[in-house]
């Protein structure tokens, strides 16, 4: 579940609390923690608020049950020394389980995140936004598209690597899975962004599941009244039941 918490969108009655962003997240977590295998705070929503936003983020991270996987959706990517500092910030200081990484600067951008035992780098490969087509689909002289080169190359850089594959690129999902048959895929875009859970599951589930399906706005902003957490739970339960059905169809449960 994406915790893309925008203080301009949370229910207005929370604005009277000491920390509205954390209070919103706390109630969402309380309502969904038995349905959710991972929480993914989008770091931009917190750092846009300065120091108080970072404090809300840390309080949220500390509140998430320790048996639930955490993803820092930070999309960091820089040269080696800087990437090492980003990795230290999210893995040592904040103790996230994983962080999203942009691979445009090559192995220097990714490998520093692989130096932390038990932590994961989740590498951007194929994204849902329309601008992703500007570069991701360009071809080299042999006709190989850039996203495919990223996918095949990064797999050789180490273990504990996942990949971000946008759900709205449905026509490419089967080919992505064929190029990374054993990798875990983080798939945003289901729900409010128009991605089809059925298409994602049909094309990207492997024999180990191998799939983290993310929904953010479709769950956390399902309601803006005082019962917002109850409505978020209802939406999360719907998605979880749909996912369970797809896994039954695949014979995984």
Examine the residue annotation and report whether 75 is marked as an active-site residue of this protein. Answer: yes
Question: What are 147's two structure tokens?
Answer: 């996203």
Angle 115-157-208 from CA coordinates, rounded to 5°: 95
Residues 68/62, Cβ–Cβ less than 8 Å: no
Q: Reduce the DSSP state of residue 209 to 3 states and report it.
A: strand
Indicate which residue of 33, 59, 75, 149 is catalytic: 75
CA distance 205 to 218: 22
CA distance 134 to 204: 24
CA distance 112 to 86: 9
Beta strands in the chain (DSSP E): 2-3, 38-41, 69-76, 98-101, 120-126, 161-165, 184-187, 211-213
CA quadruple 215, 100, 175, 118: dihedral, nearest 10: -100
Active site residues: 75
């Amino acid at each position: 579940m994406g915790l893309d918490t925008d203080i301009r969108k949370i229910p207005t009655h929370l604005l009277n609390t000491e920390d509205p962003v954390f209070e919103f997240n706390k109630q969402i977590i309380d309502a969904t923690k038995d349905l959710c295998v991972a929480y993914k705070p989008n770091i931009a929503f917190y750092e846009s608020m300065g120091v108080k936003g970072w404090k809300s983020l840390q309080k949220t991270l500390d509140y998430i049950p320790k048996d639930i996987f955490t993803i820092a959706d930070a999309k960091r990517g820089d040269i080696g020394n800087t990437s090492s500092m980003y990795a230290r910030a999210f893995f040592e200081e904040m103790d996230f389980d994983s962080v999203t990484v942009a691979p445009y600067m090559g192995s220097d951008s990714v490998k520093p995140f692989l130096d932390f035992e038990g932590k994961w780098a989740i590498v951007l490969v194929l994204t849902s936004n329309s601008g992703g087509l500007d570069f991701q689909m360009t071809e080299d002289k042999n006709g190989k598209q850039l996203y495919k080169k990223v996918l095949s190359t990064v797999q050789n850089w180490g273990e504990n690597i996942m990949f971000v594959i946008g759900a709205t690129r449905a026509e490419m999902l089967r080919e992505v899975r064929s190029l990374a048959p054993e990798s875990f895929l983080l798939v945003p875009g289901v729900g409010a962004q128009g991605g089809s859970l059925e298409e994602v599951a049909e094309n990207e589930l492997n024999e180990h599941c191998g799939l983290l399906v993310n929904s953010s706005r479709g769950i956390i902003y399902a309601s803006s009244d005082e019962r917002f957490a109850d409505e978020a739970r209802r939406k999360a339960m719907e998605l979880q039941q749909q996912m369970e059905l797809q896994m039954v169809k695949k014979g995984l449960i």
